[in-house]
Structure 1
Amino acid sequence: MSDTHSLTAEQLTLGYGDRTVIEDLDLVVPAGRITAIVGANACGKSTLLRSMSRLLAPRGGRVLLDGRAVHGMPAKELARTLGLLPQSPIAPEGITVADLVGRGRHPHQGIFSRWSREDDAAVAAALEATQTTALADRAVDELSGGQRQRVWIAMALAQHTDVLLLDEPTTFLDVSHQIEVLDLLTDLNRTRGTTVVMVLHDLNMAARYADHLVALAAGRVHAAGAPADVLTVDTVRAVFELECRVIVDPTSGTPLMLPIGRHHMTADEPVAAGGRAG
């Protein structure tokens, strides 16, 4: 169960070339819960996720998994505990869906070990969960964008890690498939205790599916906590420079952000009202 694993960032500073993207960031990911990271474009969401999976080395500070710096851990050992679905993964030319999903099992293979029934079961379960079983023999580069995204998610599921990082997992998916993927991740969290950390653009989806919400602004954590405490009028204004209302979703009971356009303002209702859902 992943609730035995801790994932934290301490005074983390990240960047590319002469540009600093994240500076002195501290973050504690709640174990065994779903965390959604939100923020405006170029605020550092994907950069943070890349460093947490050790794809990007920090300029300062560190990322710790169970108290150990991830950048000092052997790659295969890390991959057995922590999996990543990046924003724009690239599949080898001509590879089939089944073969790509099967690559999620590589961290569990030893030098002399052979493909096992357990590996077959993990791949089959991942394909079924993402509704891609019928695509198993198709070449990945022949699929639509939405189909490819579900196949990449299947590969991440087949890796069978206790901590799963996903950068925009609903990219290219229509609304119904977005819901299916987020429901799938929720089921994974509830049944296996998998710690899920995902970057999402849709604030309302993030508030609905996450237990813990992290709002980034200018490379720092602006707010973190329960969705009802983070998704507020003041936070949306500060992080997205957007005026809105926040109400309680009558279906889910989670905060629901309603943007206010200039043409929808009324003279007797100022848009600067603060506060939060509820």
Structure 2
Amino acid sequence: MIEAIELRKTIEGNQILKGLSFKLKAGRIYGIIGPNGVGKSTLLQLLAGIEFPTSGQILLEGIPAGRYARKSLAKWLAVLQQGGLAAAGFTVREVVAMGRYPFQNWLGGEKTDTGPLIDEAMEAMGLRGLEDRPVDQLSGGERQRVALAKVMVQEPRLLLLDEPTTYLDIGYQLQLLDTVSSWQQERGITVVAVLHDINLAAQYCQELLVLSGGRLEAFGTPAEVISEELIRRVYGAGSVVLPHPQTGIPQLLLLPGKPSSDTR
């Protein structure tokens, strides 16, 4: 579904991405991980067609991302950006309904009733009882859940998430990622998520892209990618990697202090 070819991005003289090449298959969940400032969010913006590469190319279903008209692309690609929403003056239900904009005619209507779809998304994100509340009166975590519900009613084939668990406590982090995972399995969509929490990324993503210094440091399943050596090399941190007692997926325990052989 996605192919990056020698992708480079320079911003204000700083080379953020340095020749990334990879292919992402349809119907899988991919996680992008790495330290701060290595280009994770920049890469996601390029995949979404929000930004354009300095050189190289991104193909979405075989077509350069820049060739898509914005509304045409929005019919099958959705983005949940860092920071959630900025929709002051609208109620929760009105904001969630905005996810249907790419499919509406110039009068704002559709051929079918989308009310049940909106109800389903709000129920999935625990927003019942909040539907008439203005979004600017919500907490950061509540706004993030509204943002995901809005994305859900868009019914995308490709979903891009930029640090979706920001502002959420542990319970809602799991609820959000459980919802995305179930939705992905039911609909067969492709998900690409920037995540800071390596353990959450390992639990919910089928494959991980590790960025370091603007380059693709590693790409593979969590079992193939996550190791004590990689954590030391990429993050400059000591760690112990153990299998999760229920899933067997590698999980990370950080060790205090700086590792003696830090080579970053």
TM-score band, normalised by the shorter chain? Answer: over 0.9
Length-normalised TM-score, structure 2: 0.94
- Residue 139 (structure 1) aligned to one of 120, 134, 138: 134
> Could you tell me which of 42, 50, 63 is aligned with 2:45?
50
Match of 1:267 in 2: none
**1:71 equivalent in structure 2:** 66
Alignment of 1:4-43 (within 5 A): 6-43=1-38
1:275 match: none
Instruction: Choose from 152, 155, 158 the match for 1:157.
Output: 152
Q: Does 1:254 align with 2:258?
A: no
1:78-109 per-position Cα deviation (integer Å, ceiling 9, x unaligned):
11111101112442321111111111101111
Deviations 1:21-61 (A, max 9, x none): 11211121231011011000001000000111011111111
Equivalences for residues 180-191 of structure 1 within 5 A: 180-191=175-186
CA shift digits 1:121-165 (9 cap, x unpaired): 221111111111221111001001110110001111111001100
Separation in structure 2 between the aligned mates of residue 134 and residue 28 of structure 1, nearest angstrom: 42
Match of 2:194 in 1: 199
Amino acid at match of 1:231: I
In structure 2, the residue matched to 1:104 is 99
Deviation per residue, 1:176-203 (Å, 9 max, x gap): 1101111101101111111111011100
Aligned amino acid, residue 210 of structure 1: C
Equivalents in 2 of 1:113, 1:243: separation in Å?
54
2:21 maps to amino acid: D
Q: Is the 8 A contact 2:103 2:110 kept in 1?
A: no
- Residue 116 of structure 1: CA displacement? 4.8
Matched residue type, 2:205: A
Deviations 1:255-277 (CA, angstroms, capped at 9, x unpaired): 011111139xxxxxx976xxxxx
Corresponding residue SS for 1:166? strand
The aligned residue for residue 87 of structure 1 is 82
What is the rounded CA distance, in whole Å, between the counterparts of 2:59 and 2:118 in structure 1? 29
Change (3 A) 1:213 1:159: same
Q: Which stretch of structure 1 is more off in the superposition, 81-90 or 153-162?
A: 81-90
Any unmatched runs of 5+ in structure 2? none
Tell me whether 1:212 sits opposite 2:207 in the alignment.
yes
Contact 1:43–1:217 (Cα < 8 Å) also in 2: yes
TM-score, normalization by structure 1: 0.90
Decide which moves more: 233-242 or 170-179: 233-242
Matched with 1:235 is 230
Q: Percent identity?
A: 37
Q: Are 1:34 and 1:196, in contact at CA under 8 Å, matched by a contact in 2?
A: yes
The residue identity in structure 1 corresponding to 2:225 is V
Q: Point out where structure 1 has 5 or more consecutive residues left out of the alignment.
A: 1-5, 264-269, 273-278
* Distance in 1, Cα, partners of 2:50 & 2:59: 14
User: Could you give the per-residue CA deviations for residues 232-259 of structure 1, whole angstroms, max 9, x where no partner exists?
Assistant: 1121112111111111111221001111
State the SS of the aligned residue for 1:134.
coil
Could you tell me whether the CA contact under 8 Å between 1:30 and 1:212 is conserved in 2? no
Deviation for aligned residue 1:205? 0.6
